[in-house]
Amino acid sequence: MSATRRDEQKLWLILFQIRGIRSRLNLLTGQQWLFTTLAVIIGGGALVLLAAARLGPLSFLGAALVILIVAAGGLIGAARRGWAGRIDPMRAAGLADDRAGLKGRLTTVLALAETVHRGQLWPFLVEDTYALRDNYEPRRIEPRLVSRSLFALLAALLLAALATPDLNRGGASRRRAAGPGAGGEITADIDHLEIQPADPALEPNAQIYADPETLRRLQEKLSAGGSGNKSHGLGGLMNRARQFADAFQHKLTGRNSAAGAPTRLRLTERNPAAHGADGPRKGGNQAQNLAKNSAGAGSNGMSNGAAPNANHAHRPGAPPVASIPGAQADQMANGNPDGAAAAAPESNPNGANSNANPPEQDASNDAGGGANHGVGADPGHLFGPAAPQPFGSDSFKIAIEAEPSDEASAPGSPTYMPPRVRVPLNPNQLPDEPIARAAVPADDQMTIKRVFDR
């Protein structure tokens, strides 16, 4: 066999090993792309499911968008890295040179293998590189057969496995948190209601019932207040976003967030004679639901926010203000017959309910997470003495102006909306006056002077 033929065989073996290195490295690059892509998809999906289970609709929408954007970036990045990480023979030779300390031998052999005039030292280079072939075996250049990105995939799978049971737990906790608070009842006087459209993003979840005359007056008030305008602009957008998020959330979690019982607002009339109507007690059993809406966090916030005010709103002179969420106000203003008809069987069986909050409601306030701000937050206690509560009276006043908030005080807890109470200043409050400077007795003057001199 001629020397040239032997050189060609050695060259072929060197090139074969370079091909082996390239295949191994490309396999790892492909694995990295595949595992990273799967990890991003699975991890992102698990996070979206977690968000659907634990967050309110708007928070979920925001979180889902963020997750979507990050996941899209991750997928693009993985694809780009995969594309850039492709190994051609020259790069494989370069990597092998670096890792095996071959000082450019493989790169040079590969680069000059196809050239015609290789020079006087070419056989020496081939022989020298062939002699070092053990140093650049593919398994020595890259010992791994599986990419490390497998760990990312495993982590994503673990996250998904953790998210699945949490889907059920999260729903249960939401139902638990929504249950007691939503089942509460508030009684308010129709004369003291000031009806304003609320934030359209706040989902209604209240049943209002009263005797027919009171309801008729409520309709009049709603019409007079012009609250029948459909929500539009930013509010409308928020509403639509909320509805979309809600529907998506329900589709993902497979359950209806209306599991919590709605808050019941009982309307009464303090002075029925003036309007030619029966008293609230009388109408209690004829209660009629005006509206019924499925609701989640928003309704809980309303019930929690209303309760403390109801406890302390018995002072004379406090202006009663009740704000009804926009959608519900719309529904009421339009006299939605469907809503009323559907809600009729939900009427309060204890129609002649007293104005005192039931213990369950107080408990729900406590359970609401942050709702337990109690007396200290009620400005009624800041100005003048508290008025004695007329026990057993129906004519207590309620002032509610609630704003939606999706910030929960604890993960999984219902949304808390702090009450905003408008109370006029106490007319008996004396203005602040400076304290008159007292005259220093003559004996003390000398003592003070000595002290200062010292």
Partner 1 sequence: MSEAQAAIAQPTISDFARTFRRIQAEIHKVIIGHEEAVEELLSALFAGGHVLIEGVPGTGKTTLVKTLGLALNLSFGRIQFTVDLMPADITGTRVILSAAEGHREFSFQPGPVFCHILLGDEINRATPKTQSALLEAMAELQVTVGANTYPLARPYFVMATLNPIEMEGTYPLPEAQLDRFLFKVRLAYPGEDELVRIISSATGPEEAGVEPVFPAGEAAARIEGLKHLVREVLVAPSIEQYAARMVRATQPQNSRALGDMHSRVRVDSVDRYVSFGSSPRGALALIMGAKVRAMLDGRANVSYDDIERHAHAALEHRIMLNYAAHSDNVDAAQIVEQVLKAVRATRA
Which residue ranges make up the site for partner 1 (CB under 8 A)? Answer: 90-91, 94, 97, 103-105, 107-112, 118-122, 124-125, 128
Nearer to partner 1, 94 or 228 (CB): 94
Closest distance to partner 1 from the beta carbon of 92 (Å):
11
Nearer to partner 1, 119 or 374 (CB): 119
Closest distance to partner 1 from the beta carbon of 255 (Å):
52
Q: Report the alpha-carbon distance of residue 25 to residue 19 in Å, rounded.
A: 10
Q: Which residues pair with 197 in a beta bridge?
A: 324
Nearer to partner 1, 106 or 177 (CB): 106
Nearer to partner 1, 94 or 370 (CB): 94
Nearer to partner 1, 124 or 244 (CB): 124
Closest distance to partner 1 from the beta carbon of 131 (Å):
12
Nearer to partner 1, 114 or 432 (CB): 114
Nearer to partner 1, 13 or 172 (CB): 13
Give residues with Cβ within 8 angstroms of 46, minimum separation 6.
156, 159, 160, 162, 163
Closest distance to partner 1 from the beta carbon of 113 (Å):
11
Nearer to partner 1, 125 or 408 (CB): 125
Closest distance to partner 1 from the beta carbon of 20 (Å):
20
Nearer to partner 1, 93 or 159 (CB): 93
Closest distance to partner 1 from the beta carbon of 126 (Å):
9
Closest distance to partner 1 from the beta carbon of 140 (Å):
19
Nearer to partner 1, 81 or 118 (CB): 118
Using only the alpha carbons of the chain, give its radius of gyration: 38
Which position has the token pair 């309910």? 353
Closest distance to partner 1 from the beta carbon of 17 (Å):
17
Nearer to partner 1, 28 or 109 (CB): 109
Closest distance to partner 1 from the beta carbon of 303 (Å):
60
Closest distance to partner 1 from the beta carbon of 137 (Å):
20
Closest distance to partner 1 from the beta carbon of 112 (Å):
6
3-state secondary structure the chain: CCHHHHHHHHHHHHHHHHHHHHHHHHHHHHHHHHHHHHHHHHHHHHHHHHHHHHCCHHHHHHHHHHHHHHHHHHHHHHHHHHHHCCCCHHHHHHHHHHHHCCCCHHHHHHHHCCCCCCCCCHHHHHHHHHHCHHHHCHHHHCCCCCCCCHHHHHHHHHHHHHHHHHHHHHHHHHHHHHHHHHCCEEEEEHHHCCEEECCCCCCCCEEEECCHHHHHHHHHHHHHHCCCCCCCHHHHHHHHHHHHHHHHHHHHHCCCHHHCCCEEEEEECCCHHHHCCCCHHHHHHHCCCCCCCCCCHHHHHHHHHHHHHHHHCCCCCCCCCEEECHHHHHHHHCCCHHHHHHHHHHCCCCCCCCCCCCHHHHHHHHHCCCCCCHHHHCHHHCCCCCCCCCCCCCCCCCCECCCCCCCCCCCCCCCCCCCCCCCCCCCCCCCCCCCCCCCCCHHHHHHHHHHHHC
Q: Report the alpha-carbon distance of residue 145 to residue 143 in Å, rounded.
A: 7
Which position has the token pair 């000031």? 194
